[in-house]
């Protein structure tokens, strides 16, 4: 049997039991009230009869006689006539009058005159007024016994017993019980209706699931939500947050629920609480935009939060055509993006090296040709020229200012891509890097973003001489022991048309871009690609914002030094990356 059915039957049983008990108690109280009223009425009538002068005189006269008159004489006497008149006038069951010994002087049945009463008259003959419920010769009755006093004295010469039939009381109870029964039936009907409505609501709230199924779902939900690395946010149809798992808090850098020590939530670390309105939650506005369309699922968007690149999408949750709200999924693509940028840099370097391999092979063929024809002097001169420029030459100007091999290779590879697009990549004359790069991953992200943006700006600019200039300067560690590493300062300028009057902070906002996707290169759709990371290449507007958050996380910054001007030169950006360089070791130290 289903739990909802069991609940319904239990409720119906409780309602029926309560109604029956209430009705029985009410009927009993009514019966007691009617009986008490009958006793009081009998007591009043008995007092009236016992206090009548004629009754007192006649009873006193009979009590003074040596015996009791015969029944025939009593039946025709004044006592019998007065008792029967009182009984007929009040519809009493009986009005009985006795002498001081308890012998009947008046009774509804004449043949019982002169006999002793069937109920004990001793208390009334002792001068007490009592009410009784007894069963006598005429049947069960509710009545009263009152003493009869002699005229002019306190001597008890008899007693008057008056009773009303219990059958008449039951008839009165039946008349009064009708509204009780109707009230009980109405209460029972209301209880049944309320039980059915409660069952229907219970089924709707539990989606027709049994308690065991709900318990299993809760355990499964906790296991799934806490066991996955993806962030999960549940939003109810009324706009309240119903689910916010630990992964979502970690990805969005949202603290766990709970007040501060003083009992108030910290404004700097706003917490997201279950039951809180989704519109007021401390989450990026792009996530809230995903749930604005009440009918359709939203397409995945890239969100920059807490220094991470997240891919978010929202799905409409339905169960048997019932709207359950929204489920927002968050996936971290930061590591994938950084890895893809590194692979992109490696691919660019590999392409450049393949090209240089062909150049090196041509140089060897040239030397071999000089030697085969006996022109050794020309071969020596050619080798000397190669020694001055190096066997592998990247199309980057003033590359000799760079001493770090990583920076040489990375910027050289970038120069190959820039050269293919008609942009000259050069090293600024103020460049001085005495140490070595110790964190290529962060340097790749920041430096690669700035160079990619500058190349795109130079290509889109109106100047005929397209160039990008990079200046690098390392600052030694400031501590006594040199702990923490040195700081690498990067300045990137281009020949583009500038940022079009955009403010120094506006350019670092998520989604800001001044470039359009190139027609010859498809726009990347996978997070982590060069276009995804660069504001200029793909038009996503995440590159600068991500670079600034990454630099600030290390204690540095990315700033706009000059927004540029139309016609050139273009914008100038500066980045500081603490802890990314280390001093070069001497031969003795090695």
**Measured CA angle at 579 (ends 575, 585), to 5 deg:** 120
Q: What is each CA distance from 222 to 188, 225, 226, 236, in whole angstroms?
A: 43, 5, 6, 18
What is the model's pLDDT at position 471?
93
Give 388's contacts (C-beta < 8 A, 6+ positions apart): none
- Extract the tokens encoding 213: 């199924």
CA 46/CA 148 separation, integer angstroms: 10
From the list 226, 258, 255, 229, the residue with the least C-alpha distance to 243 is 226
Own/partner pairs, 547-551, CB within 8 angstroms, 24+ separation: 547/445, 547/446, 547/449, 547/450, 547/575, 548/508, 549/304, 549/306, 549/307, 550/307, 550/442, 550/445, 550/446, 551/442, 551/446, 551/575, 551/576, 551/577
CA 500/CA 519 separation, integer angstroms: 22
Q: Where are the beta strands (DSSP E) in 196-307?
A: 231-235, 241-244, 298-305
Residues forming beta bridges with residue 149, ordered by sequence position = 156
Instruction: Report the phi/psi class of residue 274: left, alpha or beta, with left for phi > 0 and alpha for psi in -120 to 50.
Output: beta
Instruction: Report the phi/psi class of residue 18: left, alpha or beta, with left for phi > 0 and alpha for psi in -120 to 50.
Output: alpha
CA 7/CA 12 separation, integer angstroms: 9
Q: What is each CA distance from 10 to 14, 20, 202, 205, 211, in whole angstroms?
A: 6, 15, 14, 19, 16
What is the model's pLDDT at position 39?
86
DSSP state of 508: G
Q: What is each CA distance from 409 to 255, 400, 412, in whole angstroms?
A: 42, 12, 5
CA 133/CA 119 separation, integer angstroms: 10
CA 493/CA 508 separation, integer angstroms: 17
> The pTM is what?
0.47
CA 421/CA 521 separation, integer angstroms: 12
Identify the three-state secondary structure at position 73. helix
What is the model's pLDDT at position 135?
77
Own/partner pairs, 310-314, CB within 8 angstroms, 24+ separation: 310/231, 310/251, 310/252, 310/334, 311/527, 312/286, 312/287, 314/287, 314/290
| Local confidence pLDDT in tens for the 590 residues of the chain | 676 677 777 877 887 888 788 878 877 887 788 778 888 888 999 998 988 899 888 888 888 887 788 888 888 889 999 999 988 888 888 899 998 888 888 988 888 888 888 888 888 888 899 988 877 777 778 889 999 999 888 889 999 999 888 776 666 666 767 777 787 788 778 878 887 888 788 777 777 777 777 777 777 766 666 667 788 888 888 888 888 888 888 888 887 664 443 433 443 345 788 888 888 888 888 888 888 876 666 677 777 776 677 888 888 887 767 777 888 888 887 666 666 666 766 666 676 667 667 667 777 878 888 888 888 888 888 777 766 554 446 667 776 777 787 888 788 778 888 888 899 999 888 888 888 888 887 888 888 889 988 999 999 888 888 999 999 998 887 755 555 688 999 999 999 888 876 667 777 776 566 555 443 343 333 333 333 333 333 345 667 887 888 888 888 999 999 888 888 788 999 999 998 888 876 555 54
Q: Do the Cβ atoms of 400 and 409 come closer than 8 Å?
A: no
Main-chain dihedrals φ then ψ at residue 88, nearest 5 degrees: -65, -35
What is the model's pLDDT at position 358?
67
What is the model's pLDDT at position 493?
93
- Extract the tokens encoding 269: 């670390």
DSSP state of 500: T
CA 57/CA 105 separation, integer angstroms: 13
Residues forming beta bridges with residue 282, ordered by sequence position = none
């Amino acid at each position: 049997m289903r739990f909802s059915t069991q609940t319904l039957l239990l409720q119906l049983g409780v309602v029926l039991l309560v109604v029956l008990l209430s009705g029985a108690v009410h009927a009993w109280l009514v019966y007691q009230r009617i009986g008490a009223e009958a006793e009081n009425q009998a007591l009043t009538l008995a007092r009236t009869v016992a206090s009548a002068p004629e009754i007192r005189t006649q009873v006193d006269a009979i009590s003074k006689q040596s015996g009791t008159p015969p029944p025939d004489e009593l039946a025709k006497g004044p006592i019998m006539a007065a008792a029967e008149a009182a009984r007929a006038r009040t519809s009493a069951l009986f009005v009985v009058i006795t002498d001081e010994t308890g012998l009947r002087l008046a009774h509804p049945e004449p043949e019982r005159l002169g006999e002793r009463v069937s109920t004990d008259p001793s208390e009334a003959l002792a001068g007490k007024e009592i009410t009784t419920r007894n069963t006598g010769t005429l049947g069960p009755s509710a009545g009263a016994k009152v003493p009869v006093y002699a005229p002019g004295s306190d001597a008890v010469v008899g007693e008057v017993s008056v009773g009303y039939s219990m059958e008449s009381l039951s008839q009165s109870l039946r008349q009064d019980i009708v509204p009780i029964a109707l009230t009980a039936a109405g209460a029972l009907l209301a209880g049944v209706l309320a039980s059915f409505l409660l069952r229907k609501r219970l089924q709707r709230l539990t989606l027709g699931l049994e308690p065991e199924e709900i318990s299993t779902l809760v355990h499964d939900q906790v296991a799934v939500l806490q066991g996955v690395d993806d962030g999960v946010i549940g939003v109810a149809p009324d706009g309240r947050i119903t689910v916010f798992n630990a992964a979502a808090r970690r990805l969005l850098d949202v603290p766990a629920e709970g007040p501060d020590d003083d009992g108030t939530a910290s404004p700097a670390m706003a917490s997201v609480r279950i039951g809180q309105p989704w519109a007021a939650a401390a989450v990026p506005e792009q996530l809230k935009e995903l749930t604005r369309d009440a009918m359709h699922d939203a397409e995945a968007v890239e969100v920059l939060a807490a220094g991470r690149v997240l891919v978010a999408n929202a799905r409409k949750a339905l169960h048997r055509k019932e709207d359950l709200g929204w489920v927002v999924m968050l996936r971290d693509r930061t590591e994938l993006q950084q890895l893809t940028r590194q692979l992109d840099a490696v691919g660019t370097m590999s392409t450049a090296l393949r090209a240089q391999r062909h150049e090196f092979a041509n140089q060897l063929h040239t030397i071999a040709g000089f030697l085969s024809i006996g022109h050794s002097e020309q071969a020596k001169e050619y080798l000397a020229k190669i020694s001055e420029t190096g066997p592998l030459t990247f199309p980057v100007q003033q590359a000799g200012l760079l001493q770090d091999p990583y920076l040489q290779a990375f910027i050289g590879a970038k120069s190959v891509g820039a050269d293919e697009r008609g942009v000259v990549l050069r090293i600024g004359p103020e460049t001085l890097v005495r140490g070595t790069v110790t964190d290529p991953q962060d340097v790749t992200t920041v430096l690669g973003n700035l160079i990619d943006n500058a190349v795109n700006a130079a290509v889109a600019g109106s100047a005929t001489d397209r160039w990008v200039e990079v200046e690098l300067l390392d600052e030694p560690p400031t501590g006594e022991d040199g702990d923490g590493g040195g700081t690498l300062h990067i300045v990137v300028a281009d020949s583009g048309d500038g940022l079009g009057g955009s403010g120094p902070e506006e350019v670092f906002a998520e989604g800001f871009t001044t470039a359009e996707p190139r027609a010859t290169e498809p726009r990347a759709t996978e997070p982590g690609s060069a276009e995804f990371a660069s504001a200029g290449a793909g038009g996503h507007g995440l590159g600068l914002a991500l670079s600034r958050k990454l630099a600030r996380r290390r204690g540095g910054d990315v700033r706009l030094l000059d927004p540029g001007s139309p016609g050139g030169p273009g914008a100038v950006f500066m980045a500081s990356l603490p802890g990314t360089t280390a001093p070069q070791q001497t031969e003795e130290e090695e």
